[in-house]
Structures are given as structure tokens and as C-alpha cells.
Amino acid sequence: MKEGPDIAQIGALIGDPARANMLTALMSGKALTATELAGTAGITLQTASSHLSKLEAGGLIGQRKQGRHRYFSLTDDDVGLLLESLMGFAAGRGFTRHRTGPKDPALRKARVCYNHLAGDYGVRMLDSLVAEEVITGTGDDLALTDAGHRRMTELGIDLAALTKQRRPVCRTCLDWSERRSHLAGSLGEALLSMFLEKGWAKREPDSRAVRFTPNGEKAFSKLFGMPG
């Protein structure tokens, strides 16, 4: 018997086309019903329920009940990071449905990656934070500098609350359309929430796309040193 982690089981769970489509739909960060996920996968509700049971048993998704409905979502950040990395790996080797990267230009520009900002804007944001020494380190070994703590506090982000969470404050996530890293972790989620709360950007209905308003474009560009 071979020893060590069994990647075959995880690969089999993700590798089924219907389950892959449902997991991709949950990358929006929204909790969805079995009926909604069945529609996304193009399968019957009964078949979807069987797939969802397998994904839940494998620790990839969780559910919560509200009234008569059950809502499903990805278990945690690690599942989202795994899926985004697999998308990047597949795209880099030509395994795409149409062409490399998201088809919709809006998705290329800015989109939700489970709970943080991805796409061109997500990559540029991380590049800016590293260049200005707000964040230091490489790979997953990222940390806020003292200057970074001051800057995030000035933006109104509660760093004390972020550090209490059972996940990294800063970590990278390989962006599957840009093929470079964007910012994940609790700070990545907090920054995306800030953009939405300030009205700088809005989520597109039934899409992972994030659209910045004209004022939001200017504010984002000023904050992260991007050309206006």
C-alpha cells in the first residue's frame, strides 16, 4: 500500500465534468442551491444531489440550511486556491473550452476569485503593494510590513480582526487569466469588501465579473499607483 496523501481521490472528485462545473460556479463566493447548481451543470436535480453529496464527503463543499432551502458553498480558501490554480494549469497547457483566459473582457479585467479580487486589477494591486513595500516576501510567505499595517489601518481595515482568523492574512493565488499571482488571504477579502462597500465597484449579476465605477477607477488607480 502506498503511503502519503491520496491525490487520486481529490482528482476524481474535481475531474467529473458536472462536479467541475458546480465547483466553478461556487468560485463566485456565493452560496447556491442544489437547483441552481444543477442548472449550471446541465443535469437533473437528482443527479446534482448525488454529486453534491460526494463533494461534501470529500471536504470540498459545505452546506447550510435556511428555511426550506439548503445552500452550498466552497469549504474554505484552500479549495478556492486549488481550483484557481488548476484553472491556470489547464489554461497554460491549452486545456480550454474556447481560448486562453476568460472570454468576457470584464472577467479578464476584474473578477471575484472565491472571496478576493482577481484578474488584471487583482494582479496589479499585489504588484503595487509589493513595490511600495506594503507587503514583503515571496510565494505564500507574505507579510505586512510596519508601513503596511499603518496603511491598511488608515483605510479602515481592522487588522486585529484579520489576524484572529484561522487563515493567513496575506497569501498569493495564481491568477488563471493573467498567469501571475494576485492577493488572497483575509486581507485580500477585506480589500475587495472595502471596494464594494465604498461603491467603487459592483458585482455583475450571475457572473464573477467585478465592474468598477468611473470614480472607483480613479480611487483604485490612485491607491495602487496605476495609470488613470
Tens-digit pLDDT profile for residues 129-145: 999 999 998 767 799 99
**Residue 58 belongs to domain with CATH number:** 1.10.10.10
Evaluate if residue 101 carries a pLDDT over 50: no
- Overall number of domains in the chain: 2
Residue 31 φ/ψ, nearest 5 degrees: -80, 130
- The band of 228, judged by pLDDT with boundaries at 50, 70 and 90, is very low
What proportion of the chain, given as a percentage, has pLDDT over 70? 93
Does the residue 2 lie in any domain?
A: no
Mean pLDDT of the chain: 90
Do 43 and 96 sit in the same domain of this protein? no
> How confident is the model at residue 104, as a pLDDT?
76
42-51 contact pairs (CB < 8 A, 24+): 42/18, 43/18, 47/18, 48/18, 48/22, 51/16, 51/18, 51/19, 51/22
> How confident is the model at residue 96, as a pLDDT?
67
* Residue numbers of the domain that contains 194: 78-223
